[in-house]
Amino acid sequence: MKTLKGAGAAQPLLYDCGFAREIYALEGGAQLKRCMQCGVCAVSCPSRQEMDYTPRRLFSLIRAGRKEEVLDANTIWVCTSCCTCRVRCPRGIDILGLMHELQFYYLRSWFKVHSRASFQQAFWQELRERGRIGEAGVMLRCWLKEGGLTGAVLKSLEMKGTGLRLLRRGRLRLIPPKIEGLTGLNKIIDKALAQQGYAE
Amino acid sequence: MVGGGISGLTAAVEAAEAGFDVLLLEKKPGLGGRVAQLNLYFPKLCSPNCGLEIIFKRLAANSRFRFLTSAEVIAVSGGEGSFEVVVNLKPTFVKENCTGCGRCAEVCPAERPNAFNFGFDRTKAAYLPHRLAFPYRYVIDGEACRGPSCARCTAACPYGAIDLEMEARTLILKAGSVIWAAGWEPYDTARLGNYGGGRYPNVITNMVLERMASPGGPTSGKILRPSDRREPASIAFVQCAGSRDENHLRTCSGVCCLVSLKQAAYVRECCPEARLAMFYIDIRARGFYEDFYARVREGTGIELTKGKPGEIREDPATGNLLVLVENQLNGRVLEENFELVVLAAGMAPSALCAGLPASARDRDGFVSPVLAPGFYAAGCATRPMEVAPAVRSGAAAALRAVQWLGRRGHGR
Amino acid sequence: MAAKIGVYLCSGCGIGEVLDPAGLLQVAEDDRRVALVRESDFFCGQDAGLIQGDVTDRVVDAVVLAACSPRFYVKVFDYGPGLPVVRVNLREQVAWCHESGSEDTQMLAEDALRMALARAGGSAVPEPFRLENPSRAILVVGGGLAGLTAALEAARAAYRVILVERENSLGGWLRNVYRCAPLRPPYAESAENPFHLLSREVESHPGIVVYRGASIERTAGGPGQFDVTVRQGERLLKERVGSIIVATGAGAYDPAKLTRLKNLAYGTSPNIIVSSKFEELALRGGGRVARPSDGREVRRAAFIQCAGSRDPEHLPYCSAACCVETLKQAQYLLEPDPDCTVFIYYRDLRANGQYEHFYKKVQEEGAVFIQGEVVHVADRGGSLSVEADDLSLGCRSRVEGLDLVVLATGMIPDVAGGGPEQGALKLDYRQGPELPALKYGFPDSHFICFPYETRRTGIYAAGSVREPMDLVTTLEDAAGAALKAIQCVEMTARGQAVHPRALDVSYPEFNMSRCTQCKRCTEECPFGAINEDAGSNPLPQITRCRRCGTCLGACPERIVSFKDYSVALISSMIKAIEVPDGDEEKLRVLVFACENDAYPALDLAGAAGLKYNAWVRIIPLRCLGSLNPVWIADAMSRGIDGVLLMGCRQGEDYQCHFINGSELARTRIMNVSETLDRMGLEAGRIKMVEVEIIDYTKIPAILDGFADELAALGPNPLKGF
Amino acid sequence: MRYSFYPGCSMEGTAVAYCKSLVAAAWALGLYLEVIPDWNCCGATVAPGLAGSYTSRVLAARNLALAASRGLDVLVGCSACYLALSGANRRFQEDALFRIRAKEALAEGGLRYDGNLRVRQVLEVIAHDVGLDKVRERVRQPLTGLYVAGYVGCQTVRAVPWSFDDPEKPQFLEKLIEALGAVAVPFPAKVHCCGGSRAAAAPGEALGYVKNILEAAESAGAALVITPCPMCQFNLEVNQLRINQTCGGSFNLPVLFFTQLICVAFGLAPAAGLKHCLVPPYRALSRFRP
């Protein structure tokens, strides 16, 4: 658990609602206003021990406008999408959806690649290029992103055992097929992204 | 009057004393409703039986008051001045001339779980609803009874009060106005899987604790863990168990904070050494209840933690419970061990009756105090509330119900 | 006085197995007032006709029924107003709790029968106290939400209503309110202020007389005949009413006292205002709020809860409505302009019940809720800031650039309309001009079970004059008070008592020739029912009386009697107890049991099969406050070894249905103890215990414990004299 | 009963056994599946973070649009796909603004969807449309004496809470195990998270999740674990080997899809795709092979 900058120090933390408004404007972001700070999410998260801030804390920081703390925190990246918080949240907030949306916000506003996002990016590339995901392809792309060619080779070697086993058992398709309507799919995606006011 | 709980009884007694004829219908075999199950009221920490006794006394002497128990309303039709109420009378197998002597229960060979004590003990199939039952009359549980082939009770009863052939009857009653006071049900905590409701024996509801603490309850007033009948060394009160929750009861039940504080107060009396803790979102001790809150906070040493527990885990070996909660004061996730957990289960509106159109209910299942001219509702059927407002709501409904009659000169 | 007592001995429910009927029969036959004795095991059922027949044939003029507790079969054994029925509790208090066939048990039963015979023989038939021309009109004091609602609801039941409002227009607090918190499902939308509609309906209702700009100069009389003098400007008007509803509402906590809360900086800036002021601004601006300093529209505001409430230095209680009112006020800003910024500082957000929906709604509209304690508020050149220990952030936080800070101040009772000192009713009562208060200046009542019962009969408090409450609760509260007022005029007209001895037609009569003007009755009456004339003679106002008998207990000259309840009557019952001679080791304990709690507790002990010694003789009292010390002297001189008083809990959380019966009894026995001391009797022979119904499991310990104490003291030395 | 079937990407790769056994088991139970032609990746829980929830839902909805004309319920096996598709579908049905915008986007690809379909999870279909009685009837090879841990995982029961089971203490999978004649061991970890896609993104960090689950299954005496989720199956099986390698564990717990177990009990072992297992289940199942 991170301690807040300024916490306990002489300088009180200044509320700035601008950031919160940006977050509220995200898809489903307005739900966050409903949070009543009960903390159920904090306890329910399987990754809570690794989190810099619990979701509850993160939401209070968003409300206070602490953009830097929020986006610096690992919270949104360690979410496993297990849905527990969403099922339990007494205010019915789709916390999981918000975590994804915050990842999206991060990636599009920070213009930098978060080391934690390479898997996501690899996944997305594969989706855009083929319409479906092949696990092997995604992992390779991911490793390439993380460590460049050398890294990827090293990582593949490290994972060689698993990969070979999967391959042997017929569970790894190295080159998955492209879907036929790939162009259409990409058009749909482009349109949707544009509707969100965001183009890749 | 539909419902013989505190708001229904109040409406009945106040209207009857104002000079109007009242017929009260109660689904259960005895009057008193939920309050009859309570150990003590907050904030005075006094027994509900004191107030009930006066009401029963006033009603028992009032010739304008009549009542039917084991009577379920299945339809209400008509309008102000000419309602028709269809009532289903469930067979109790005991006639009204029962004197309450108890011979039937002495000889009865069959047993049933005692629903009044939430199944924590058993009664005979022939039983008195509870010690302070009004009417003071035995009833026979048709499901547990072995039927006419046994009939030991029939032989034992000196008064010929038992009729094992009794059948359900349907009555159609006429009324000038109708008051709906069907009350509430404790929220089913079995739906709170993360709290182990209905699964872990030592996770109980606040209503069960009331029965346990009551001298007439299943443990004769002792607070004991269901798993091993041992006095717990630590008790956690978990607030909003189902209340203020979009997945369960969307409303705040308004009373649970005070119920838990009250329970902490009386548990402290009988378990002076026990560790008491309460986990809450907001302590909603409105009005003068704030005094009570302060008194309990200072007098019991209860640990108050702001934070709604996310999960309760059981150690199957000991039956102890691990409560996981984020303490909002320091943001730390606590994992605290307790020997008993009391879930402050909220108030769910009573099940829908055929007499009431589904449209009468709001999204939470409660009904409006004024359903139609001549058709009114009172008490927790209208919104969650504690005893005092339920009493006032009963009186208010009684007034509305007598207005039509009053204008026609009845009651003078 | 009964001369032909019918004695009906029941042997059902186990009585016949425990007791020897011959002995009881003998007791009845020994009493020359007994006209006939019948036996059955089923008087409540099959043989009910036997008694009815005797009554109809006028063979008997009083019934003594030795069967179950008087708490059962009241209607079965009711033979109309002219015929006293005295019950001997052989089932719960003899057969079910004492050894079968034992001599002691038999003696107990026989004594119980003797006492009942004494009671039946000494009772006269009460005649109801009927006013000649009782008024059924209802006076409503206060024209706010509670008053308007009560007036209208009562008028709808065809009762004439007189409404007195201090201000020149109706509406009370709501007149300065823009919109109201949700009043009905789904409890998510604020409601239109209902006072316009309500006042119009009240003013146009043919059954309601409205006095605006008026106040009450004097209230005399009692239920059914309250004579009220209303002052309207220079005019003095007389009205006679049957009952009164006090709905003078609450006022806001004095802002001047808020200045003592230095951290809130109230008074240092025109833009730090209290919530009522905010409401005024909204009303004036038709929803738009302009800030006081420069009239600029408010775009950033902070609301601070509990300004003075939940604070031992100011208002220790919570004012119940402020959280929801603040939610509503936040909406004034957020609804027209979602870009407004609103901060709400709170400790616990008390949006109870279905107001949870409203809380969520205002959250969704964007209000920022900050839980924590406000450390300070400051105004720097028109820009306000708030600093707080922020619980959700876990550190100190600060909000700057605010246009307005609104302090949610609490409610104080406004019994008077103009503050408690001014008075709303000006009762012409010996015991003071207003409703007695319990705490914080709000009127006292049994606020859980019987919230309307104030300590002044026929005067009912409604709305936030009684306790801080929100609007939804107020609407119901007012309607309920209207029913109580109607009920009171009806019961008074029938000559009946109201709660808790409802339907009782007996009332106290004063034998004035023996009065010594000691004033005890006028002082001790918990309901202020007895005034005094200039010569300190009591002037009982029967319709104010609740029939508890406190006056009867208080009077040293024994001049107060009810037809069926008097000092002499109870004395005769005590004298009916046969006290064995001193050489026998049989104690006799007289128990005076409050009939509301202790007596049912004794019944329950029996029903639960709990056993205790059979030396106790139980006399139920209407209230321990009616205990006359003479009875203790009577008992002692009869040789009874000890007297036990079983009453209700006293103190702040008192349970006595007559307010302070146990307290009065305690004072009285303290005085008696001194007398006993002088007589050479130990003070320990008299004891008082508090017993609730649910304490029935403790009954054996209490009774056996007292018997042990008495045994240690040895027999009453006066035995046999 | 006919359904549109959305296999999802894993069913072409690591979860190929799920696909095979699901189709066989469904057939045996009278469920006829028509694969949605040219389906695309649903975006799972990964795309929302990268392209936003909106875009991600639209891309999932493309599959619904492809199935729309047939009007059949869309059957989904993979839990992540179920989460994505049912979420997108709910938006279509409940959120008018979303519907308008999403239709616009789908139109770019020449597709149209109005929210007319239902998205169903396989277990839910077995619970509601088939019923355990029918399952019991169809069993040819009762798995008597086989101790099975039913690992439900997260999204299966939480994507749409209470759709067929309690999201906190699901019972259905255990009832299904019992219906097959096997013994469902008490398994408190049945809804604990396996680490999900974090196992792929940050493999090291995710081992802990799996270790706890496997330990719980072992100590409950399970001979094998079954699950309805490809991600769970993958994590439990692959990481089991990694734990053995890197942390010196000695797990040897076969992890099957529940449909594989159904196939075995139905006497359709050849269709169960057991050969795809990394941890061989043969010893545990030896008694039940024809």
Segment D228-250, tens digit of pLDDT: 999 999 999 988 988 888 888 88
Omega cis (within 30) before B384: no
* B·D CB contacts under 8 A: 9
C398–A64: do the CB atoms touch at under 8 Å? Answer: no
Count of all residues that appear for chain D in the document: 290
| CA distances (Å), origin A193, targets A29, D47, D105 | 17, 12, 9
- Give the whole-number percent of chain B exceeding pLDDT 90: 91
Question: What per-residue confidence (pLDDT) applies to C507?
Answer: 97
Give me the pLDDT at residue C416, please.
41
Instruction: Please say whether the beta carbons of D12 and A176 come within 8 A.
Output: yes
* Cβ distance of A173 and D13 shorter than 8 Å: yes
DSSP 8-state code for residue C95: I
As a whole number of angstroms, the distance between CA D99 and CA D113 comes to 9
pLDDT cut 70: percent of chain B above it: 98
Interface residue A48 vs chain B (CB under 8 A): yes
Domains of chain A in sequence order: 17-108 (1.10.1060.10), 115-196 (no CATH)
Name the residue among B382, B376, B377, B316 with its Cα closest to residue B347. B382
Q: Is D133 on the interface with B (CB under 8 A)?
A: no
User: Which residues in B lie closer than 8 A to residue D161 (C-beta atoms)?
Assistant: 247
Which chain C residues have a beta carbon less than 8 Å from that of B63? 75, 78
pLDDT tens digits, residue range A141-151?
A: 888 887 777 77
Mean pLDDT of chain C: 93
- Separation between Cα atoms, residue B257 and residue C275, nearest integer Å: 27
Structure tokens of B117?
């004590």
Mean pLDDT of B154-170: 96
Locus of tokens 């003291």: C713
Alpha-helix residue ranges (DSSP H) falling in A7-94: 17-24, 40-44, 55-64, 67-72, 84-88
Tell me: cis bond preceding C500? Omega within 30 of 0 counts: yes
Tell me the DSSP string of B234-284. Answer: EEEEEEEESSS-TTS--S--SSHHHHHHHHHHHHHHH-TT-EEEEEES---
- Which residues in chain B touch residue D166, judged by CB atoms under 8 angstroms apart? 191, 193
Chains B and C touch (3+ CB pairs under 8 A): yes
Nearest residue of A to residue C402, measured between CA atoms:
A15
Per-residue pLDDT tens digits for C629-651? 999 999 999 999 999 999 999 98
- Give pLDDT, residue C417: 45
Rounded distance between C-alpha atoms, residue C521 and residue B287, angstroms: 36
Task: Determine contact: A50 vs chain B, CB below 8 A.
Answer: no
List the one residue out of C392, C369, C228 whose CA is nearest residue C304. Answer: C369
B58 vs B12: CA distance, rounded Å:
10
Instruction: Report d(CA B364, CA A178) in Å as an integer.
Output: 50
Nearest-angstrom CA–CA distance, C408 and B302: 29
Q: Does B328 touch chain A (CB under 8 A)?
A: yes
Put residue C398 in one of left, alpha, beta given phi > 0 → left and psi -120 to 50 → alpha.
beta
**What is the pLDDT at residue A200?**
66
Residue A163 has pLDDT above 90, yes or no: no
Mean pLDDT of the C143-165 span: 97
Identify the helix (H) or strand (E) that includes residue D4.
Answer: strand D2-6
B111 close to A (CB below 8 A): no
Say whether pLDDT at A161 is over 70: yes
3-class secondary-structure state, position D40: coil
Interior angle at CA C341, CA C335 and CA C344, nearest 5: 95
Do the Cβ atoms of C607 and C78 come closer than 8 Å? no
C540 touches B: beta carbon within 8 Å: no
**How do C395-402 and C383-390 pair as beta strands?**
antiparallel
D219 has a chain B CB within 8 A of its CB: no
pLDDT of residue C718: 85
Return the partners of chain D (3 or more C-beta pairs < 8 Å).
A, B
Please indicate whether, in this complex, the C-beta atoms of D201 and A142 are within 8 angstroms of each other.
yes
DSSP states of C225-254? -EEEEEEETTEEEEEEESEEEE---EEE--
Q: Is C in contact with D (3 or more beta carbon pairs below 8 Å)?
A: no
**Whether complex ipTM tops 0.90:** yes
- b/e code B338-371 from CB counts within 10 Å (16+ = b): bbbbbbbbbbbbbeeeebbeeebbbebbbbbbeb
Q: What is the pLDDT of residues B170-190, one digit of tens each?
A: 999 999 999 999 999 999 999
Encode pLDDT of B119-156 as tens digits.
999 999 999 999 889 999 999 999 999 999 999 999 99
E strand or H helix that includes residue C413: strand C411-413
Q: Does B99 reach chain A within 8 Å, measured CB to CB?
A: no
- Burial per residue of D241-274, b for 16 or more beta-carbon CB atoms within 10 angstroms, e otherwise: bbbeeeeebebebbbbbbbbbbbbbbbbbebbbb
By C-alpha distance, which of D186, D151, D187, D177 is closest to D261?
D177
Confidence check: pLDDT of C420 > 50: no
**Is the preceding omega at residue D167 within 30 degrees of 0, hence cis?**
no
What percent of chain A shows pLDDT beyond 90?
A: 55
Distance separating alpha carbons of residues C61 and C5, to the nearest angstrom: 6
When pLDDT is averaged across residues C670-691 and rounded to a whole number, the result is 89
Alpha-carbon gap, residue C548 to D180, rounded angstroms: 74
User: Is C360 within 8 Å of chain A by CB?
Assistant: yes
pLDDT-derived band at C721, boundaries 50, 70, 90: low
Which of B22, B167, B144, B77 has its CA nearest to residue B353?
A: B77
Quote the minimal CA–CA distance from A4 to chain D in Å.
25
pLDDT score of A1: 52
- For the stretch B303-341, pLDDT in tens is 999 999 999 999 999 999 999 999 988 888 999 999 999
Tell me which residue has tokens 């009240």.
Answer: C202
- Asked if pLDDT for residue C352 goes beyond 50, the answer is yes
**Among B72-76, C408-412, D196-200, which is the least confidently predicted range?**
D196-200
Buried b (16+ CB within 10 A) or exposed e, C670-709: eebbeebeeeebbeebbbbbbbbbbbbbbbbebbeebbeb
Query: Can you tell me which residue has the tokens 């999410």?
Result: A41
What residues of A are in contact with residue C341 (Cβ under 8 Å)? 17
Mean pLDDT of C677-692: 90
* Mean pLDDT for the stretch of residues B54-65: 95
pLDDT band at C419 (very low <50, low <70, confident <90, very high): very low
Q: How far is B283 from chain A (nearest CA, A)?
A: 12
| CB-nearest partner of A90 from B245, B328, B331 | B245
- CB spacing of A80 vs D109 below 8 angstroms: no
Closest by CA position to B276, among listed B339, B354, B220, B328: B339
Reading across the β-sheet that carries C686-690, which strands appear in turn? C616-621, C589-594, C642-647, C686-690
How many Å lie between the alpha carbon of D22 and the closest alpha carbon of chain A?
Answer: 16
The predicted-structure confidence for C12-52, as pLDDT tens digits, reads as follows 999 999 999 999 999 999 999 999 999 999 999 999 999 99
Cα separation, C171 vs C210, in Å, equals 12
What pLDDT score does A5 carry? 53
